[in-house]
Amino acid sequence: MSFHYKVNIMDSLKEAGYSSTRLRREKFLGESYMSQLRRGDMVSWAALDTICTLLNCQPGDLIQHEIDPGVDKTADTPDSI
């Protein structure tokens, strides 16, 4: 996987006052998303949007991109993405 969390999302949410119970009760995040976050798995863009809203941050504050060691960086790439 090329994307990784920079911080522990569940810990950050808890520090901001959003316990697992509150996240479920107020329907901010479901248990499956919280399980994914605990494992360090990526969540959907919609869930990431909710997390950024709750933490008042940008996605780049939470995730980072790392180039996989097996990726050929000299391969042809499009001029624009």
Give the residue-averaged pLDDT of 4-33: 96
Q: How confident is the model at residue 14 (pLDDT cuts 50, 70, 90)?
A: very high
Q: Is residue 76 part of a domain?
A: no
Q: How far apart are CA 43 and CA 81, in angstroms?
A: 23
Inform me whether the pLDDT recorded for 1 exceeds 60: no
Residue 10 has a pLDDT of 96
Q: Is residue 79 part of a domain?
A: no
Residue numbers of the domain that contains 50: 3-61
Residue 80 has a pLDDT of 56
Assessment of whether the complete model's pTM goes beyond 0.95: no
Q: Is residue 41 part of a domain?
A: yes
Inform me whether the pLDDT recorded for 15 exceeds 70: yes
Give the residue-averaged pLDDT of 5-12: 95
Q: Is residue 67 part of a domain?
A: no
Give the residue-averaged pLDDT of 25-29: 96
